[in-house]
Structure formats: structure tokens, C-alpha cells
Amino acid sequence: MRDKVAWLPATLVEMTRDLELDREFEARLTDSSALAIRVAFSVLRNQADAEDVAQEAFAKAHRAFAQLRDRDSFRAWLVRMTWRMALDHVRSGRRRMTRDRVAVPAEYGPTVEETAIDEQQRERLWRAVDQLPERLRLVIVLSVMEGHSIKDVATLVGVAEGTVKSRLFDARAQLKEALR
Amino acid sequence: MIPNDPIEALSRTLAITPSPEFAARVRQQIATQPVPAAWWSVRHLAAAAAMVCVVSVAVMWWSGSSARDVRPGVPVGSAVPVASIAPSVTAAPARAEAPAASPAVARPRESYARVVAVESVFGETLVPDDQRLALDRLLGAIRAGRATVPGVVAEEIVDEDGRRMPRALVIEPLKLELLAGTPAEPNRDPIKEPIK
């Protein structure tokens, strides 16, 4: 009996903590879904693949969520994890990805904004982005998303703001050079 | 056509939104993925493994140390110093008056080889040559593994420099004490070269 009395509150505390974690994770999922998918898309150029990779990243994040409860820490971890997983996805399945890209369903097609840019020119832009070193590529991709400030990008990448500034400068210069 | 600012073009290209079912897919995957082992069970396992290692090392070290207490380099229970034991042999008569414990005597160490700490309660008796020879044979048999004793205790003395020196060897009901001037090197083969 005494054992049961000791066991019951411990279980309740554990259950309460789990519920709280689930609620927090749900908030992070709503908050960071677009970020993760866009980071993956910047590597994969295909929304279906990007969502698959982001989904895997969220599943991993859920397993480690007790250590990632802070919003900034979570987003930074998610960005880096999604980026790495997207790169792995490209390396391991480039051929499949290319085929899928051809057979993209209508709902994953170009957005209204994208239609304003000619497909051929867009490919040229992405080729230029792909030629950037990884450290520059992630910084420039994050800087054009969701109105991120230099400070936001620095937090997400885990480097100093000065480093972000210099990388952005280099990335812009190299992009202009490649697109000239 | 690429606008003048490629950054702006990039920004437009990346302005995608998650599909409506994305969150549901994530929830479904999380619900179906196997629950990882509880962090505490993993830590407990690691701690238990580490504890086993530490205890094993400690036991090995301790047994080696205890063996050195008896005689350096000789395992307890299988070999016993002989030549270093000058023939000041204490036999076990009826319980005699216990000698006063010297404060300089180091506390005997125990080992897993059933070396037990005992206080000497026997008086000193010098034994004749035939008994000394018998004792040599006993010690030789112990060293060769042909005889076992319930417990062996090495008593030590700490000199002024803090060095631990052997003082006596207790094999119940015997206590073998070193006399002053006993050579440090033991006689390796007491049978062939008995102490003169």
C-alpha cells in the first residue's frame, strides 16, 4: 500500500510533464514548420521532398524535445538538422529526386511569385546558389526567409553576428558574379 | 528574367508554405515511432557497467596489494615468504597473554583470498630445528599449491620514512615474526635450502 502511494504521485508527475511537453511541441510544430520546409526546399527544390525531410527532422526533434524546449534553441537545432538531412537526401537520392521533380503534383507547383520568374532563369539562380560554399549558402538562404535579421540568422546558425555579415557579403558578391 | 537583386528572387522562390496535411503527418509519425528507452534506464545501465568495472579493478588491485603484503610478487594462499622469516616462530599453545599492540604496526589488509585480519594473541616460542623444517615444508607446500590455509595475514610496520616493512606473517594458529636483520630477499626454495 505504501508502495502504491509513493508510486502514484510519481506517475502523475511524469504524465503531467509529458502532457506539458506535448503541448509545447505542438506549439513549436506550428511555429517552425514553414522554416523547416523552406530550409529543406532550398536544398531539394521540391516541396514533397522538403516536407518529407522536415517531417523526419520534427520526429527527431520530438525525441530530444526535453533538451530543446527553449524556442530559439529548438529553431536553431531544427534548421541545422533539416539542412544536414536535406543535404544527405540529395547525396543519397539525387536520381530519385530528379525524377520526382519532373513529376511534381500540381499542388506542389510553382507559386504565384515564382511564375513571375522564368523557369530557365530560376534554374540559373539555383545553380548559382548551389555553387556557393555551404557556410555561405545556409546564411544567405536563412537571411531571405521570414524576414530574419542578422541576429536571427546568427542565432539559427550558431555563429557571431559579424560572421553572418561577412558571409552575407561574400555570398551576395559571389551570386552576382555567377549571375552576371 | 532575374531581377537585379538575386536576393529578392531567392526570397520569392523560398516563400513556400507547408501543405495542410504536414502537421498531421508529423503527428502521425511521432505517434507511431517507437518510444526510446527511458533516459534513466540508459544511465542506470551505464552507471552499473562503470561500477562493475571499478569494482573489478579495485578487487584486482586490492588482491595484488594484499599478496604483496605477504610477500612481494607472491599470491596469497599459494606461496608464503620463507627465508625472510627468521626462525622466531610462534607456535600456538593455549591462549597466552596477548602482546601489546605496537602503534607502529600497520593494520593488516584483507583480500578476497580469505586473508583475514587478526590480532596476535600468542606468545613467542622458539622452535627447534625439526619443527622449523616442518614449517618450511608447510610453507613450501602452500607456495606450491599443495596445502591451503584458512587465512593468511601479513602484518606490517611503518618506518620513519613512511615505508611499510613486513613484520610478521600469521597463519592461524601460527605467527611468524621477522627478527631484526632478517634479509629482505626470501629464500625461494626452503626445502632445498632450508634456513640454517
The pLDDT of residue A84 is 92
Cell of A86: 536535406
Gap between the Cα atoms of B4 and B10, Å rounded: 12
Task: List pLDDT tens digits, range B21-40.
Answer: 898 999 888 888 776 555 55
Can you tell me the mean pLDDT for A34-48? 90
Q: Which residue of A has its CA nearest to B12?
A: A113
* Highest-confidence segment of A63-72, A79-88, A144-153, B28-37: A79-88
User: Mean of the per-residue pLDDT values for chain A?
Assistant: 79
CB contact under 8 A, A59 and B36: no
Q: Could you give the CA distance from residue A42 to residue A50 in angstroms, rounded to a whole number?
A: 8
B2: nearest Cα among A128, A170, A140: A128
- Asked if B31 has any chain A CB less than 8 Å from its own CB, the reply is no
State the pLDDT confidence band at B66, using cuts at 50, 70 and 90: low
Name the closest residue on chain A to residue B33, using Cα atoms. Answer: A59
Across the interface, of B1, B6, B16, the residue whose CB is closest to A111 is B16
Q: Which residues contact B190 (CB under 8 A, 6 or more apart)?
A: B82, B83, B136, B137, B139, B140
Residues B44-62: pLDDT tens digits?
Answer: 778 888 888 888 888 888 8
B75/B152 Cα distance (integer angstroms) = 11
- Sign of the alpha-carbon dihedral angle for B180, B183, B186, B190: negative
pLDDT digits (tens, 9 = 90+) for B83-118: 334 444 444 443 444 444 444 444 544 444 444 444
What is residue A167's predicted lDDT score, i.e. its pLDDT? 92
% of chain B with per-residue pLDDT over 70: 36
Contacts of A74 in chain B (CB under 8 A): none
Of the candidate ranges A31-35, A155-159, B58-62, the one whose mean pLDDT is the lowest: B58-62
Q: Quick check: B13 contacting A, CB < 8 Å?
A: yes
CA-based nearest residue in chain B for residue A66: B39
Chain B CB contacts of A141 below 8 Å: 10, 14
Q: Facing residues of B154 across strands?
A: B169
CA gap A20, A139 in Å, rounded = 33
Q: Is B23 on the interface with A (CB under 8 A)?
A: yes
Q: Is the pLDDT of residue A76 over 70?
A: yes
Look at residue B75 in the predicted model and tell me its pLDDT: 44
pLDDT of residue B60: 82
Average pLDDT of chain B is 64
DSSP state of B30: H
CB A50 within 8 A of CB A44: yes
CB atoms within 10 A of CB B74: 17
Rounded to an integer, what distance in angstroms lies between the CA atom of residue A169 and that of residue A156?
18
Q: What is the 3 state secondary structure string of chain A?
A: CHHHHHHHHHHHHHHHHHHHHHHHHHHHHHHHHHHHHHHHHHHHCCHHHHHHHHHHHHHHHHHCHHHCCCHHHHHHHHHHHHHHHHHHHHHHHHHHHHHHHHCCCHHHCCCHHHHCCCHHHHHHHHHHHHHCCHHHHHHHHHHCCCCCCHHHHHHHHCCCHHHHHHHHHHHHHHHHHHHC
For B161, the grid coordinates are 620514512
From the list A54, A34, A38, A39, the residue with the least C-alpha distance to A138 is: A39
A53, pLDDT greater than 70: yes
pLDDT-derived band at A82, boundaries 50, 70, 90: very high
**Residues of chain A that touch chain B, judged by Cβ-Cβ distance less than 8 Å:** 29-30, 33-34, 37-38, 41-42, 47, 50-51, 54-56, 58-59, 62-63, 66, 107-108, 111, 113-114, 116-118, 121-122, 124-126, 128-129, 140-141, 143-145, 172, 175-176, 179
> Which of chain B's residues have a Cβ under 8 Å away from the Cβ of A129?
10
User: Which phi and psi angles does A52 have, rounded to 5°?
Assistant: -60, -45
With H, G, I as helix, E, B as strand and everything else as coil, classify residue B100: coil
Share of chain A above pLDDT 90, in %: 20
- Measured between CB atoms, which of B6, B16, B25 is closest to A125? B6
Give the bridge partners for B165, in sequence order.
Answer: B157
Beta strands in chain B (DSSP E): 88-90, 105-106, 152-158, 164-171, 174-177
Q: Do A107 and B19 touch (CB under 8 A)?
A: yes
Find chain B residues with C-beta within 8 A of A179's C-beta.
2, 6
Is B10 within 8 Å of chain A by CB?
A: yes
Stretch (H or E) spanning B50: helix B39-70
What count of CB pairs under 8 Å joins A to B? 96
Residue B123: pLDDT over 60: no
- pLDDT tens digits along A119-141: 777 788 888 888 889 889 999 98
Cα(A35)–Cα(A145) distance, rounded to whole angstroms?
8
Task: Output the pLDDT for position A64.
Answer: 81
pLDDT recorded at residue B82? 39
pLDDT at position B192 is 61
In tens, the pLDDT along B74-83 reads 444 444 443 3
A178 pLDDT above the threshold of 90: no
| Most confident listed range (A5-19, A34-48, B155-169) | A34-48
- Whether residue A114 and residue B12 make contact (CB cut-off 8 A), yes or no, is yes
pLDDT at B59: 84
**How far lies B168's CA from each of A101, B72, B92, B100, B106, in Å?**
87, 14, 15, 15, 11
Can you give the pLDDT at residue B169? 67
Strand order in the sheet with B174-177: B88-90, B174-177, B164-171, B152-158, B105-106
Q: Could you tell me the pLDDT band of residue A55, with boundaries at 50, 70 and 90?
A: very high
| A29 contact residues in B (CB cutoff 8 A) | 23, 26-27
Q: In this structure, how many other beta carbons lie within 10 angstroms of the beta carbon of residue B31?
A: 8
What gap in Å lies between CA B168 and CA B43, rounded to an integer?
47
